[in-house]
Amino acid sequence: MTRHLVIGGGTAGMNALRTIREEEGERSEITLVSAERPYSRMVLPYYLDRSIAESHVFTATAAVLAEWNVKTQLGRRAAALDTRAGVCTLDDGTKLAYDDCLVATGSSAVRAPVPGADGRGVHSFWTLDEARGVLAHIAPGSHVVLIGAGFIAFTILNSILALGARLTIVEIAPRILPRMIDPTGAELVEGWLRRHGVAVRTGAAVTRIEDRGGRRRLRFKGGRDILCDVVIMATGIKTNLEWLAGSGLRVNRGIVVDERLRSSVANVYAAGDVAEGRDLVTGEPAIHAIEPTAQEHGRVAGANMAGRDATYRGSLSMNIVEVCHLDVASFGAWDDPGAEAFTAVRRERPAYRKLLWRGDRLTGALILGRSSDVWTTNDIGMLKGLVQSGNSLAAWKEHLRGNPFDVKPAFIASRTTATLLPLTLLGRASKAPGTTPVAV
Amino acid sequence: MRVLKLTPDKCTGCLRCELACAYMQTGEFQPAKSVIRVSPFEGHTSYAPYTCTQCAEGWCMTACPVGAITITAAGAKDVLDDKCVGCKLCTIACPYGTMFYDPDTRKAFKCNLCGGAPACADACPTAAITYEEVATADWIGDFAHERAARVLAAR
């Protein structure tokens, strides 16, 4: 009986595990190693604003894992991988032999290296434990400071406001969301935030976080101190790769994988944040530390581990955040300096579109608009479809140059739906969640 | 499975489908809440309805981090309200622009074929929308392409 080892119980690992059970022809043995009980990081902001119970965040209960016939090593971390012997050693010394294995150990939050960053009242928001910690410390009227104005910070912005806290965002870069939108989009979002009572301080370098009578005092390189109750550091993430030292896996910025999600060692796969795979738009190796990439990587790796020959076209970089009922989304190579860009902005709504071109094809897009504007939501999906399909928009390019908001007729009339309909990730219709068969 | 077959040449742009859909989905006669949308072509002289094709991949369903999108008995991908947290990942994963978000309920919603009795098809007076046992398709691409080509060429 084939022994599969899945290391990491996040999105990539869980998708792989489920896909192995969906695809395998004969019963295999699966072992899951996960430092935490499997849960979805994506939904932690909704746990933070108390719109869902903690139980809602878990992606596979013990009962489901038992039904899938998965052996578990929960609360244990992988400590070393001997790819020659085919053995993974855990942090308690347990040795697990495998026939093939998936490395899906994800990322961890990193804090800016300033004195006091590890002190009391300073939090990260990445794991469920950290979410519990933040939730326990925010009360109506609390003053919360978010250090770092990136995607992660913005996913919890609404939640902090929903808890009745006062919010200040501090960013070292000259503008907010530096890796998700361009300066025009950032300016619109920043104005929107101020209209909604959020203080924003950009170009601000925190030099020290001090305890002052149970509250936090932030000192800056220039600029006034900020006194607050809770500090959340959203200053970046790093991939969890240290434990693979000596494994012999080829690592660049992440574990280098081929179109089957296979590493440089034939029976070791990698998926999600730790994997450096193909970017759908550029064709170049890339790390996309986002939920959809983890899902797709996990499913393709799982299918291959189950004996299928599944190839992957590559992952599409994409993000969406809602900022006080303003949707902000980006797709593909939206920051490509070599691309031709068409933009249109309506400051009063606000609304913004940026279309990026390589020849007649859309290779990236930025979109910003109110959540209540139905056409914004429709355009968000259609822009994704245009970038994903790589459809030629030759007939529409000149029209879109003058009318970047007119995405819908271009999408429909360029028969994008016909291009997209035959595409499936695994060469078959997807199964609904909860219908995964127990292995034969 | 039966799907919504769209025959744009028969569409008069009366928007009854949008009203019927919005009423069925949300209880409001409010086109903005319809998940079937009628688009005008050629300066509002021709029209075509557009909605979810119930695609094989189900990009919305596989993207959902909490398994809140499932397949109904009618074969439609549908959002389970009690599981959806409103994270909008489905709205960027669906490449057809047929996922919707209700700011009032903070949930995603989409065409669910009304449990096997689609209100839009019932409401359509010209059979531009029918509910049939056929393979799903790009029903309006050719229609739109032809009409758009005339308009773009005339510019």
- A300 touches B: beta carbon within 8 Å: no
| A381–B99 C-beta distance less than 8 A | yes
Among A188, A218, A235, residue at a domain's last position: A235
pLDDT at A440: 37
Give the residue numbers spanning the domain of B15. Answer: 1-51+116-155
Q: Tell me if A314 is assigned to some domain.
A: no
Q: Tell me if A315 is assigned to some domain.
A: no
Identify which of B91, B96, B155 has the shortest CB distance to residue A420.
B96
Residue A32's domain is classified under what CATH number? 3.50.50.60
Residues A374 and A281 grouped into a single domain: no
CA of A91 to nearest chain B CA: how many angstroms apart?
A: 29
Based on the structure, what is the number of domains in chain B? 2
Residues B39 and B83 grouped into a single domain: no
Among A213, A235, A257, residue at a domain's last position: A235
Q: Among A144, A145, A322, A109, which residue's Cα sits nearest to residue A235?
A: A109
Q: Report, as an integer, the average pLDDT of B31-44.
A: 93
Q: Average per-residue pLDDT in chain A? A: 96
Adjacent-strand bridge partners of A365: A331, A355
pLDDT over 90 at A343, yes or no: yes
Q: Tell me if A66 is assigned to some domain.
A: yes
pLDDT over 50 at B5, yes or no: yes
pLDDT over 70 at B155, yes or no: no
Instruction: Provide, as residue numbers in chain A, all residues whose Cβ is less than 8 Å from the Cβ of B39.
Output: 408-409, 412
pLDDT at A435: 72
Q: Report, as an integer, the average pLDDT of A403-415.
A: 96
Residues B45 and B25 grouped into a single domain: yes
Measured CA to CA in angstroms, residue A250 lies from A80, A237, A253, A262, A349 at distances of 15, 21, 10, 11, 49
Q: Report, as an integer, the average pLDDT of B67-96.
A: 97
CA of B128 to nearest chain A CA: how many angstroms apart?
A: 17
Q: Tell me if A311 is assigned to some domain.
A: no
Q: Report, as an integer, the average pLDDT of A118-137.
A: 95
Give the residue numbers spanning the domain of A400. Answer: 325-420
**Model-level pTM?**
0.97
Q: Tell me if A440 is assigned to some domain.
A: no
Instruction: Provide, as residue numbers in chain A, all residues whose Cβ is less than 8 Å from the Cβ of B100.
Output: 374, 377
Q: Report, as an integer, the average pLDDT of A330-344.
A: 97
Measure the CA–CA gap between A162 and A150, rounded to whole angstroms: 19
pLDDT over 60 at A439, yes or no: no
Residues A48 and A137 grouped into a single domain: no
Measure the CA–CA gap between A327 and A310, rounded to whole angstroms: 34
Q: What is the tens place of the pLDDT at every residue in A244-278?
A: 999 999 999 999 999 999 999 999 999 999 999 99
Residue B9's domain is classified under what CATH number? 3.30.70.20
ipTM field: 0.97
* Per-residue b or e along A4-20, where b marks 16 or more CB atoms closer than 10 Å to that residue's CB: bbbbbbbbbbbbbbbbb
Residues B65 and B106 grouped into a single domain: yes
Residues A258 and A205 grouped into a single domain: no
pLDDT at A437: 59
Based on the structure, what is the number of domains in chain A? 3
| A327–B88 C-beta distance less than 8 A | yes
Residues A191 and A245 grouped into a single domain: no
Q: Tell me if A203 is assigned to some domain.
A: yes
Percent of chain B topping pLDDT 70: 99
